[in-house]
Chains A and B, each alone.
Chain A
Amino acid sequence: MYESMGVRTTCSCIPYTGPNVPNFGEHVAWSESSALSFVNSFIGARTNREGGPGALAAAIIGKTANYGLHITKNRKPTVIINAEIDESIFSYSLLGQAVGMTIGDGIPYFCGISPGLEEAKAISASMAASGSIALYHVEGITPEASKYDISDLETIYISKDDLDVAYDKLNNTDNVQLIAIGCPHLTEKEMHQISHFLKGKKKVNKDVEIWFCTSNDVRKKCEEDVRIMEQFGRVLTDTCMVVTPIEESFHSTGTNSAKAGNYLPTLCSQKVMFNDLIKLMEVVI
């Protein structure tokens, strides 16, 4: 029905890697807590945390209510976050978990980190799952970061201890039946990185199932990566481990996503192992 109305449909949580990306300063009405935080922060388009029904209503009439993060003064950072992490996707996911748990909401201004698209995807997702953060700024990286006076803001240091607390919160098993990667969906670059890591290795532990979740568009562009990844598990498109009733088949899941780590226990009754992709893969290779 939507297609007949001229809507381009994609069942992906990273629509901002597709062809229809808003411009800086443009007003949009997005749902999907991780995607709207990414588009607010990394692209500088403006959206509130819409639910699906509100976003759909806005799409139908071509308007959205002018309040909250549509208004410039409400986009000013509320707290400075100083953190030192290594540059892995997992570390960004863990940092987002720690920040969401520490400040809950508000608009953090990060110093000391340099996220690219994939890292921003990870931290957007985890801060929106452990808290309700819909916008953040990163010094020297995000487009609005230099626009605001931050001299009067409190600084919170996220220490190794804070990261350990976040890690412990999401880890409650050492055994997994399923390893699920791709929350939010894997980008082309991540597909290349994973297949590069797996190339030449063998899956020894056949008892553990592996799912790589991405969009249909990304999968189509990554045929060679998919061929290697499918020697280890399934490359699923336009769905994921959080929206699937996996509790019918599995009781414990490994993931490198803090977002998945937040929802798997409550939505899918899973015990969770939350760790770096390479550490998770060591379970099976």
Chain B
Amino acid sequence: MRFEGRMISIGKASGYVIKLSKPLSFLGEVDGCTGDLNIIHDNIANKILVFPRGKGSTVGSFVMYNLMIHKK
């Protein structure tokens, strides 16, 4: 499968892909400490997350920061 996205940072990665069909709000839908998703039963830690676009709170950026702090 091939996805086109918007590049923010240069790099290469490989891993297990979680593909969401709906837009994602990191705030409320991703646990910043564990990487757990609460919209489906899965965890994004050390995986490649594919989603059509973001939605919702700009506090989502802090959730991403939290994921990084917790090495998820």
Chain A residues packing against B (C-beta within 8 Å): 31-33, 36, 49-54, 100, 104-105, 128-132, 262-263, 266-267
Contact = CB atoms under 8 A, between A and B. Distances in A.
Contact of B28 (A52, A54, A104, A267): A267
A105 B53 contact: yes
Given A132-B23, A266-B28, A267-B27, A51 B38 contact: no
B66 to A, nearest CB: 11
Contact of A53 (B23, B29, B54, B65): B65
B27 A263 contact: yes
Given A33-B58, A130-B55, 13 more contacts: A31-B58, A32-B58, A33-B56, A36-B58, A51-B62, A52-B58, A53-B61, A105-B55, A129-B25, A132-B54, A132-B55, A263-B27, A267-B27
Nearest to A54: B61
Contacts of B53: 104-105, 132
A131 B66 CA distance: 23
Given A266-B28, A266-B29, A132 B61 contact: no
Contact of A129 (B38, B56, B61): B56
B35 interface: no
18 contacts: A32-B58, A33-B56, A51-B60, A51-B62, A51-B64, A52-B61, A104-B23, A104-B53, A104-B55, A129-B25, A130-B55, A131-B55, A132-B53, A132-B54, A132-B56, A263-B56, A263-B57, A266-B38
A147 B58 CA distance: 28
Interface in B1-59: 23, 25, 27-29, 38, 53-59
B26 to A, nearest CB: 9
B56 A128 contact: yes
A20 to B, nearest CB: 19
A81 B21 CA distance: 25
Nearest to A134: B58
Contacts of B59: 31, 51-52
Contacts of B56: 33, 128-130, 132, 262-263
A98 B26 CA distance: 21
A36 B59 CA distance: 13
A104 B55 CA distance: 8
Nearest to B26: A51
A49 B54 CA distance: 11
Contacts of B25: 129, 262, 266
A262 B28 CA distance: 9
Contacts of A132: 23, 53-56
B21 to A, nearest CB: 12
A130 B57 CA distance: 10
Contacts of B61: 31, 51-54
B55 A263 contact: no
B57 A53 contact: no
Contacts of A54: 61
Nearest to A104: B23
A51 B65 CA distance: 11
A124 B9 CA distance: 30
A263 B58 contact: no
Nearest to B24: A132
